[in-house]
Structure 1
Amino acid sequence: MSTTPTTTRQRTLGSRLAGPGRPVYVTAEIGINHNGDLDNALRLIDAAAEAGCDAVKFQKRTPEVCTPRDQWDVERDTPWGRMTYLAYRHRVEFGEEEYRAVDEHCAERGIDWFASPWDVESVAFLEKFDVPAHKVASASLTDDELLRAMRETGRTVILSTGMSTPRQIRHAVEVLGSENIVLCHATSTYPAPAGELNLRMIHTLQTEFPNVPIGYSGHETGLQTTLAAVALGAVFVERHVTLDRAMWGSDQAASVEPGGLRRMVRDIRTIEESLGDGVKRVYESELKPMQKLRRVPGVVAEQGEAPGEGVDRVPAAV
């Protein structure tokens, strides 16, 4: 496993490099939208692979560690009947057998998978697999013990920044080390209203952490704002995926269904292509319209320049 970036703003994610100048790394977060059903998880992996995503992401917890003790015996209604919160947490948690099946299925479909470990024991569990990265959920950003455990694996760490202050974000980056992280802007509301997405934070993070690639983890409904994040420079994108937004579960309503996921990946690739390199040029495809429509041609190209090389030429005086 190699995690050495080729530039200060590129990171290794499996067989891919993510960062400026590279295709956006698109992750479909399955999380616990499988509702503890392996078949649902495999179908969601299929949907992500068919949409052209680079990876799927799960959530891994040790229920007794991650569930507050005073909540263990609190009962709640679930699709499987009324049960305690701790029993529910076990019901939706995958173990090694399920993750072996996930690992094999992702390999067959040619797509990466990784997870957000919510406790140190879960980091050790995920290290049984050759995952391309570990993900810090926004809720875990202040858990220094967990951050250090992820850093010690040597893998790329993706850090979401929802529900966090600038000071907390700076501290988490310091604990993790900036050399091998991807920093994701996020708003931790499910679903997040457009007025609270604050996508200009992508630029703020780019400015404050100039050597760190910046991504976006979205929890909104619709696709437009995620696409806007790409246009603003996000090099990593994560959206929750579901088989049906009407399914039971806290994350389903803020998720994208398979058809929407396909459109999102398609449009991200179109945006990447259309952004270009920022250098003004006259394209060869513009020459015929120029000859037909421009009354005063001006200077198109100097001697030795190809049609597309006439950059920053001043038109002839009228």
Structure 2
Amino acid sequence: MNIFINGKKISRDGNDVYLIVEAGVNHGGDINVAKDMIRKAAEAGADAIKFQTYKAEKLASKNSPAYWDRTKEKSESQYELFKKYDAFWVEEYKILADYCKECGIDFMSTPFDSESAEFLNELMPAFKIASADLTNHPFLRQIAKYQKPIILSTGASTLGEIDEAVNVIESEGNSQIALLHCVLSYPTKDEDAHLNMIKHLRAVYPQYVIGYSDHTVPDPSMMTINTAAFLGAKIIEKHYTFDKTLEGNDHYHAMDHNDIKVFKNNMKIFNDVLGQYFKQPLEAEKQAIKYARRSLVATKNIVAGEIITKDMITWKRPGIGISPKHIDLVIGREAKKDIKEDDILTWDML
């Protein structure tokens, strides 16, 4: 099944990859920084930029423990972290959604409560749901009723839990679903990425678009998300920042606008080299077929009337004469005309 976001077709088995850069709250509550991130992401070629919409008191209790690398993000509780960055609400997201339209990039923001889901529904073409809400069935039901594509991360979930979530969404008449492999570990070590799970999700859910939400620290070639795309992920989501050196939970494992360019160029090369499925000689190979293949060639002067023996012929380039595969049809034949040493044999000589 295909899904459509803002008129863009995302095909389960197509070549194109839809890239969502996850700005989250890396703007630090500064609307101008957020707009600058939008502009640079659009210029670099990202398909969508996504934020996170929450209020700390709606999202976490004040006693909720941290579960991230405390050397990178020093907040002692989830509430403390979320409270630092929950500055944006309805008006700010309207501004950002409008600015995305100006820049030609899709606007998204993950809602973390019913109120934010309600007002974001008016602003964006699809919903991205965090892994932590995969088992939040009332919330899934609310979002499914909006009848928009739902991109659902599946971090830390069992197949049974994924099935339950999908059934909840489809029970509301919404089958526009994409499932993203994800690992809920910040940052995700390379050995914990387990990208083969993308293939597993594709096998278990052949009716859905499958993607990948990445939390690994990027390398210069963007190898992790390249590999995810090679394995069949058609939606890639990765955290995005304007400065990787900043402190904070989502800066140090994020891509920047230069990384976006690298990945998009990688995908262009990927699509260019994939080509057709059926094996056959190509137009680009015609010259090679003619000149790099071998022909039977005389190893000595052969007089008209002589019977061709094995020691009289060998095979050399180019391939414009009799192919070596026909050598048994040539040996024992009579030369119709004089053949000079190193002449390429053709059928009219025999």
Q: How would you bin the TM-score normalised by the shorter chain?
A: 0.7 to 0.9
4+ residue runs of structure 1 moved beyond 6 angstroms?
Answer: 82-85
Quote the residue 1:301 is aligned against. none
After superposition, what is the alpha-carbon deviation per residue over 1:202-233, rounded to whole angstroms, capped at 9, x for unaligned? 11111111110101111112210100111111
Task: Tell me, yes or no, if structure 1 residue 12 matches structure 2 residue 8.
Answer: no
CA deviations over 1:278-298 (Å, ceiling 9, x no partner): 21122111111222211269x
SS of 2:252's partner is: helix
- The root-mean-square deviation of aligned C-alpha atoms, in Å, is 2.4
Number of the residue aligned with 1:303:
none
1:167-221: CA deviation from partner (whole Å, max 9, x where unpaired) = 2112111111272101111112222111111111111111111110101111112
- The residue that corresponds to 1:65 in the other structure is 58
Change (3 A) 1:190 1:284: same
Residues 1:243 and 1:211: Cα distance change in structure 2 (over 3 Å): same
Q: Check conservation: 2:62, 2:78, Cα contact below 8 A.
A: no
Question: Residue 254 of structure 1 aligns to a residue in which SS?
Answer: coil
Maintained 8 Å contact 2:62/2:77: no
Aligned partner letter, 1:17: K
Q: State how far apart, in whole Å, the 1-side matches of 2:199 and 2:48 are.
A: 25
Cα distance in 2 for partners of 1:138, 1:83 equals: 22
TM alignment of 1:158-197, pairs within 5 A: 158-177=151-170, 179-197=175-193
- CA drift at 1:275: 2.1
In structure 2, distance between residues paired with 1:148 and 1:272: 37
Distance 1:24 1:85, change over 3 A: closer
Query: Quick one: higher RCO (CA 8 Å, sep 6+), 1 or 2?
Result: 1
- Taking only the aligned residue pairs, the percentage that are identical comes to 32
Look up the match of 1:124.
118
**Taking structure 2 as the reference length, what is the TM-score of the superposition?**
0.76
Paired residues for 1:1-318 under 5 Å = 9-19=1-11, 20-21=13-14, 23-71=16-64, 86=79, 89-93=82-86, 94-129=88-123, 131-177=124-170, 179-222=175-218, 223-295=222-294
The one-letter code matched in structure 2 to 1:18 is I
Unpaired segments of 5 or more residues in structure 1?
1-8, 298-314
Amino acid at match of 2:4: T
Q: Which runs of 5+ in 2 are unaligned?
A: 297-323, 328-350
Query: Letter of the aligned partner of 1:207 in structure 2?
Result: A
CA distance in 2, matches of 1:252, 1:295: 59
- Residues 14 and 112 in structure 1, CA contact (< 8 A), matched pair in contact too: yes
The CA deviation at 1:18 is 0.6
CA distance in 1, matches of 2:230, 2:275: 11
Query: How far is 1:128 from its partner?
Result: 2.8
Shift of 1:91: 4.2
Scaled by the length of structure 1, the TM-score of the pair is 0.83
- Aligned-residue offset at 1:316: 5.0
C-alpha distance in 2 between matches for 1:202 and 1:85 = 29
SS at match of 1:70: coil
Q: CA deviation at 1:96?
A: 1.8
Cα offsets for 1:47-79 (capped at 9, x unmatched): 21011111101111132221214359xxxx9xx
Contact 2:61 2:79 in 1 (8 A): no
User: Partners of 1:148 and 1:164 in 2: how far apart?
Assistant: 18
The letter for the 1-side match of 2:185 is T
- Contact 2:62/2:79, CA 8 A, preserved across alignment: no
Q: Which moved more, 1:249-258 or 1:18-27?
A: 18-27
